């Protein structure tokens, strides 16, 4: 009976977090739907490209401190010690982020003297390099302390909801097309409101003092092992985001603006398939960080199998609609968007494969096998670049989307093989749970950096 209650409790937590993450996915899609209501695909391309840039730059500026926090925070039993750790981490981030924002904004402002369109990105620098990464870092604090719903709100809902409201306000104004050139600037206001909300929640929940964080970061020094660990976390996030977003960035730079907009909308809709996987990652990161150092591989494997099966079951109906009825889904954004139906089908197949494979990246990252994860991402990135070089010139936008899908499939396959070899968890851990292999790597925790 106690075991049954535990199972029900876990599934209830999954369902509640799924609801919150669903709100996040909806708020993101609302941004795209509101934009499509009032503006043409070519007018929306700069705004969507700004959102893509934020997805690339956020992990770059967090310096790996977000993953480091998720991994370390579950070990703190005392809330004051946990708050002190958060303040030292946040202080380190602030010092680097402020410097980066000033340098990048200044460089872009100088470049705007020769290429005026760079000025809007110079104005965007504080939002892309300071506010949004800070909000995500605070979200990782809540995730590390098992406050998953608040973390999902910070990471996935808040900024999108505010941005959608700003787009709606501009669209309802007289002659909305006069605001088209200013749409990326809305990111500044939405990100400023988001960081204000996130800091307020952190101060209220953990009694954090942002100014004290700067002093703590100067007093607290990371030893060589922890510096190496943080660097590997950072390298994983940066390389993963570069490999994920490179096809869309190249498409924006060399392709028609409307094709980029169709691909960007298709990418967001494709993510509707794997949002349950993102939820499971919120649960599994602390689980791996807790069980793996103790050598509790069987318990960890059992939890992974249960959650992966639930995730795939929830994602399957969405995948069927996205893959086989892409034109119908895209028609919700307007008749022009049906041109991206092929994009959505390709991305949907790749995303559903990632769901079926489960949270292999989280397992490697949280178990000290960051180098193995880096190798899987690097190899998949190389395959992606080769695919782009071959198919991009011949198939155009479709070739870039195929490269996106090839990267996802290759990286998840390699990560599954690495998890099986290093830890002993089955490649297809969506299948009924079996006892992990009896090799030493399957029962003993790895040293950081293996």
Quickly list DSSP for 246-267: HHHHHHHHHS-HHHHHHHHHHH
Q: Tell me if residue 359 falls in helix, strand or coil.
A: coil
What are residue 94's phi and psi, to 5 degrees?
-60, -40
Q: What is the pTM of this model?
A: 0.76
What does the alpha-carbon distance between residue 195 and residue 203 come to, in Å, rounded to a whole number?
12
Q: What is the mean pLDDT of residues 420-446?
A: 57
Here the tokens at position 191 are 């990100």
pLDDT at 439: 41
pLDDT at 261: 93
CA-nearest of 216, 236, 279 to 11 is 279
What count of residues does the chain have? 450
What does the alpha-carbon distance between residue 388 and residue 248 come to, in Å, rounded to a whole number?
11
What does the alpha-carbon distance between residue 99 and residue 61 come to, in Å, rounded to a whole number?
11
Q: In the chain, how many H helices and how many E strands?
A: 19, 0
pLDDT at 437 over 50: no
Identify the H or E element spanning 368. Answer: none
Report yes or no: 384 and 369 within 8 Å, Cβ to Cβ.
no
CA 390 to chain centre: 28
Q: What is the mean pLDDT of residues 27-42?
A: 83
User: What's the chain's average pLDDT?
Assistant: 78
Q: How confident is the model at residue 446 (pLDDT cuts 50, 70, 90)?
A: very low
- At 91-137, the pLDDT tens digits run 888 888 888 778 877 887 787 787 776 677 677 777 777 888 888 88
Q: Provide the angle, in degrees to the nearest 10, between the axes of the packed helices 158-172 and 2-38.
A: 30
DSSP 303-325: HHHHHHHHHHHHHHHHHHHHHH-
Q: Which residue has the higher pLDDT, 185 or 358?
A: 358
Q: How confident is the model at residue 251 (pLDDT cuts 50, 70, 90)?
A: very high
Q: Which residue has the higher pLDDT, 16 or 289?
A: 289
pLDDT at 9: 46
Report yes or no: 384 and 246 within 8 Å, Cβ to Cβ.
yes
pLDDT at 124: 75
Report yes or no: 163 and 127 within 8 Å, Cβ to Cβ.
no
pLDDT at 363 over 60: yes
pLDDT at 366: 76
- Considering 197-206, 295-304, 357-366, the range whose residues carry the highest mean pLDDT is 197-206
């Amino acid at each position: 009976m106690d075991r049954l209650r535990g199972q029900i409790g876990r599934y209830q937590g999954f369902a509640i977090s799924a609801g919150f993450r669903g709100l996040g996915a909806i708020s993101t899609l609302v941004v795209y739907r509101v934009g499509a209501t009032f503006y043409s695909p070519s007018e929306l391309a700069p705004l969507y490209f700004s959102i893509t840039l934020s997805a690339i730059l956020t992990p770059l500026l967090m310096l790996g401190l977000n993953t480091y926090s998720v991994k370390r925070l579950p070990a703190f039993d005392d809330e004051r010690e946990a708050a002190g750790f958060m303040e030292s981490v946040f202080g380190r981030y602030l010092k680097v982020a402020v410097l980066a924002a000033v340098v990048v904004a200044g460089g872009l402002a100088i470049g705007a003297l020769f290429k005026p369109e760079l000025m809007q990105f110079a104005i965007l620098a504080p939002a892309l390099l300071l506010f949004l990464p800070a909000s995500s870092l605070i979200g990782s604090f809540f995730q590390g302390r098992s406050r998953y719903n608040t973390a999902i709100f910070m990471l996935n809902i808040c900024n999108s909801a505010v941005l959608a409201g700003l787009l709606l306000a501009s669209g309802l104004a007289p002659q909305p097309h006069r605001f088209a050139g200013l749409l990326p600037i809305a990111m500044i206001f939405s990100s400023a409101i988001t960081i204000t909300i996130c800091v307020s929640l952190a101060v209220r929940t953990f009694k954090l003092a942002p100014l004290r964080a700067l002093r703590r970061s100067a007093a607290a020094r990371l030893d060589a092992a922890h510096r190496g660990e943080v660097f590997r976390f950072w390298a994983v996030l940066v390389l993963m985001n570069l490999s994920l977003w490179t096809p869309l960035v190249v498409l924006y730079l060399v392709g028609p603006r409307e094709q980029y907009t169709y691909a960007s909308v298709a990418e967001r809709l494709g993510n509707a398939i794997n949002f349950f996987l993102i939820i499971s990652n919120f649960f599994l990161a602390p689980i791996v960080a807790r069980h793996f150092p103790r050598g509790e591989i069987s318990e960890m494997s059992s939890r992974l199998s249960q959650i992966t099966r639930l995730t795939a079951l929830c994602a399957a109906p969405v995948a069927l609609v996205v893959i086989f009825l892409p034109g119908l889904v895209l028609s919700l954004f307007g008749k022009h968007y049906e041109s991206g139906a092929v994009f959505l089908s390709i991305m949907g197949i790749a995303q559903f494969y990632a769901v079926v494979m489960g949270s292999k990246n989280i397992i490697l990252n949280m178990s000290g096998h960051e180098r193995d994860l880096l190798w899987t991402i690097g190899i998949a990135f190389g395959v992606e670049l080769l695919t782009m070089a071959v198919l991009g010139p011949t198939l155009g936008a479709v070739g870039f989307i195929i490269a996106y899908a090839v990267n996802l499939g290759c990286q998840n396959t390699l990560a599954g093989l690495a998890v099986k070899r290093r830890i002993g968890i089955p490649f297809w851990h969506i299948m009924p749970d079996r006892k992990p292999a009896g090799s030493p790597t399957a029962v003993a925790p790895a040293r950081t950096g293996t």
